[in-house]
Amino acid sequence: MNKIAQLAKKYKKEIINYRREFHMYPEASKKEFRTSKRIMEELHKIEVPCRIISGTGVIAEIKGNNFGKTVALRADIDALNVREKNNVPYKSKNEGLMHACGHDCHIAMLIGAAKILNNMKDEIKGTVKLFFQPAEELASGARDMIKEGAMEGVDGVFAIHVWSGLDSGKISAESGPRMAAADLFKITVKGKGGHGAMPQVCKDALVTASAIVMNLQSIVSREISPFESAVLTVGKLISGTRFNVIAGEAIMEGTTRCYSKEVREILENSMKRVIEDTAKSYGAEANLEYSFGTPPTINDENCSSIAIKSIEKIAGKDAISKMEKLAPGEDFAEYMSLAPGALAFLGVRNKEKDAFYSHHNERFNVDEDVLDKGAALYAQYAIDFLNDN
């Protein structure tokens, strides 16, 4: 066991306690006031300089005793509007809010990494920045931190996400696409309402909207290469007021997912054409509002290589695992658009500990015994990245 792994073991109980505390007091995106206050308190205890950023985020800095570049380690800190159903001592005390995606683990692991790195300044060749980022669930936190200068002088970035689909203790950090671009859209259909018994004098917005939903499905199957992955989902359709009234308006909302800039452009342009032309064929009008959310999360090849070597150092070759890319989005990609980086997945699935429910589920839980590995990986990657550069 190397030095970093040993230090992580030393802090393991504290890391688990941090996780449980943050789990008990989850806070919604952009309202993480208690969370950021507690993070600052723990960093101040070990004399790590830190400050508030983007309202409820925290940015900290650990300078090594040797000159070098700068690497940023990121943990997201917000919770979800989910009512927890776990019967555990650390169950959420904030009704209707829950850390159902593991961000409580990320905070705890990064505080643990701060303690490790603070003890190893002689081995740090450069500077390590710590990003405790708010509002990941709104896909706005990373952008806000970037606007306020978080990425100034940063040469590389790294993050860890605990993952319930991966066996406890296994870690995936391979290169290439890892998570999808997550974009949003809204479609408004304008027709002409009227009596349900007289469709001939109306332009039925509901029928038009239904046709648009069906026609949109052909984009992925007929306009995207079969070697690319993409999703186009209409998740909401609101239209009509009464059983015998033909709707004059329909509103739809949905999301697209893909793993490349080129596919993103195809989706937006093709959707606009299909929506407008379909509406015209029904004598109605339709408008597309397409909003770019998070870019695809694509691990840099060199950063991924460094991460895999770091995993081997702190947990051995057996911990290294491979995992299919995922369709959810992750705004960590915003940092990676400015500097090379990697996102690793730490497996927390353990059926014996009732930790096997999916993310965003009201029963989501983790195997806490592997959180020290996450803290160790944060620290090991930072040192290895700076040494590599």
Cβ(48)–Cβ(111) under 8 Å? no
User: How far out from the chain centre does Cα 320 lie?
Assistant: 22
Say if residue 23 carries a ligand binding annotation. Answer: no
Query: Of 78, 144, 300, 334, which residue is the catalytic one?
Result: 78
Closest CA to 57 of 147, 120, 117: 147
How is residue 372 annotated by DSSP? Answer: H
Which residues on neighbouring strands pair with residue 172, listed in sequence order? 321, 345
Check whether 47 is labelled as a binding-site residue. Answer: no
Nearest to 14 by CA among 352, 321, 343, 372: 372
Nearest to 299 by CA among 165, 191, 160, 142: 160
Residue 351 carries which side chain, given as an amino acid letter? K
Binding site annotation covers 137? Answer: yes
Nearest C-alpha neighbor of 160 from the set 120, 117, 101? 101
β-pairing verdict for 57-63 and 125-133: antiparallel
Mapped onto helix, strand or coil, the DSSP state of residue 183 is: strand
103 is in an annotated binding site: yes
301 is catalytic: no
DSSP code for 355: B
Q: How is residue 309 written in tokens?
A: 């070597």
106 is in an annotated binding site: no
Residue 139 contacts residue 179 (beta carbons within 8 Å): no
Q: Which residue among the candidates 27, 32, 84, 136 is catalytic per the annotation?
A: 136
Distance of alpha carbon 280 from alpha carbon 79, whole angstroms = 43
Does the annotation mark 78 as catalytic?
A: yes
Provide the CB-side half-sphere exposure for 77 (13 A, CA). 35
The continuous run of DSSP H or E covering 291 comes out as: strand 285-294
Contact of 108 with 160, CB cutoff 8 Å: no
Residues annotated as catalytic are 78, 136
- Could you list the residues known to form a binding site for Mn(2+), using ranges: 101, 103, 137, 161, 360
Q: Which residues are annotated as a binding site?
A: 101, 103, 137, 161, 360
